[in-house]
Amino acid sequence: MSKLTLPKERDYGWELKPTSSTYFGQVQNKSGQNCVVLEHSLLRGITTEMIYWWFQHFPNMRVTLDDIPGYEGQKVPAYFLWHPYDHINAWLTGKLGSNNTSALGAKINIQEAMYTKKYGLKYPVNDALEIFYCDKDGWAMGKKMPFLGLMMMLRISFKDIYEGDTIIGVHYHYEIVVGTYKKNLLAKAINKKLSGKFGPDFLEAWHTHNTIEVGVFENFLPAIYAQRGQLDDIHYAREMNAMQESPAKLQGFNKSLFEERMRGFEQSTNAFEYLQFDKTSFL
């Protein structure tokens, strides 16, 4: 794939969520697989219907930025909205769903880098991942290797949270497994090499990147979802920011779930099996 170049930062005027608004951890299980758990704060003013729609459409969707400095009137990848500075591009290939939407077995091509404000292009992503789950309660994407099978899986689970009969937000939970549970010499060598990439700087970069990425759903998604009937002419302007309340004091939504999942991964021998990436969400 081509060398990555970061586009100009998008100044949307949003207050970004800090990593202190989440519960985050990484463990290595009995087979040497690396497992990451990220429990986000409540996504205020968002519904799972919005998020499911976003995952179906964002890779091939474009949005006109009406008044974002340096982008006035430009039609850009919708992926630009999902992070103000780390995202470069995303698109789908393979067998797609109706209207070129995400579907099981399709590939999502992702170009981005982790926490570029601090690390620049030290931690790039320029890869195609297979979609293993795409439904109203979650999303999963990952990679296989010949002879070894699954080597990476990212699983997102989401659930509407109610106050009485009203949805007040979404519980959004993210888990990643990297490495194989197999015991042969090749598998062990690959796991050792992959573990070397999971240093403190990388984990900080990914944690910061994903906290911001998921948090900004509160800012842009309601306005974009409201225009879902005109997919070829979606616009975003600074006045459309749906979240004015500060995220500074927020915390991860469910600490006990976070701790339970961390223990479960640590005790597992096959983290992909514990992840249940292709099953209905456990939330």
Q: Rounded to whole angstroms, what are the CA distances from 245 to 43, 163, 225?
A: 12, 19, 20
pTM score of the predicted model: 0.95
For residue 178, pLDDT beyond 70: yes
The rounded distance, in Å, linking the Cα atoms of 238 and 217 is 14
CATH number, position 261: 3.30.530.20
pLDDT digits (tens, 9 = 90+) for 38-79: 999 999 999 999 999 999 999 999 999 999 999 999 999 999
Number of domains in the chain: 1
- The token duo for 225 is 């979802």
The position carrying tokens 């469910």 is 254
Contact 252, 258 (CB under 8 A): yes
pLDDT digits (tens, 9 = 90+) for 97-109: 999 999 999 999 9
Say which residues have a Cβ less than 8 Å from residue 233's Cβ, sequence separation at least 6.
Answer: 64, 227
Instruction: Let me know if 273 is exposed, middle or buried by CB neighbors in 10 A (0-12, 13-18, 19+).
Output: exposed
Q: Looking at the domain assignment, is residue 165 inside a domain?
A: yes
Q: Looking at the domain assignment, is residue 9 inside a domain?
A: no
The rounded distance, in Å, linking the Cα atoms of 65 and 11 is 11
pLDDT digits (tens, 9 = 90+) for 211-228: 999 999 999 999 999 999
Q: Looking at the domain assignment, is residue 255 inside a domain?
A: yes
What's the pLDDT band for 2 if we cut at 50, 70, 90?
low
Q: Looking at the domain assignment, is residue 282 inside a domain?
A: no
For 164, left (φ over 0), alpha (ψ -120 to 50), or beta?
A: left
Instruction: Determine the pLDDT at residue 199.
Output: 82
Q: Which domain range does residue 261 map to?
A: 23-275
Q: Looking at the domain assignment, is residue 102 inside a domain?
A: yes
Q: Looking at the domain assignment, is residue 17 inside a domain?
A: no
| φ, ψ (nearest 5 deg) of residue 12 | -85, -10
The rounded distance, in Å, linking the Cα atoms of 81 and 217 is 9
Distance between first and last Cα of the chain: 37
